[in-house]
Amino acid sequence: MRFVGDKYVERMTGISVKTLRNWRCLGKGPRYKKLGRSARYEISALEAWIRSCPAGGGGRTERIAATTAGATTAGATNATEAASD
């Protein structure tokens, strides 16, 4: 087992030390162990937590594209109806 501290987790994930500390108080974030007065993260547990986080990418973009396409179609229908009046 290999344990790392807040600074290492910050460099690895981009999550600030302050946020990690807040998350510990709230019971959120990666699992940690108290070794003496220090919070330490086991590398394998940290990697598992990262894998469990939602991935970004296509989902939001696809929803936006679908919403925009629907608005464009509705706008075109209204314009066609207005032109025929």
Give the pLDDT confidence score for residue 79 in this predicted structure. Answer: 52
Segment 27-63, tens digit of pLDDT: 999 999 999 999 999 999 999 999 999 988 765 555 5
Question: Band of the pLDDT at 1, cuts 50, 70, 90?
Answer: confident
Mean pLDDT of 8-29: 96
The pLDDT of residue 69 is above 60: yes
pLDDT at 55: 87
pTM for this entry: 0.62
Residue-by-residue DSSP string for the chain: --EE-HHHHHHHH---HHHHHHHHHHT-SS--EEETTEEEEEHHHHHHHHHHSPP-SHHHHHHHHHHHHHHHHHHHHHHHHHHH-
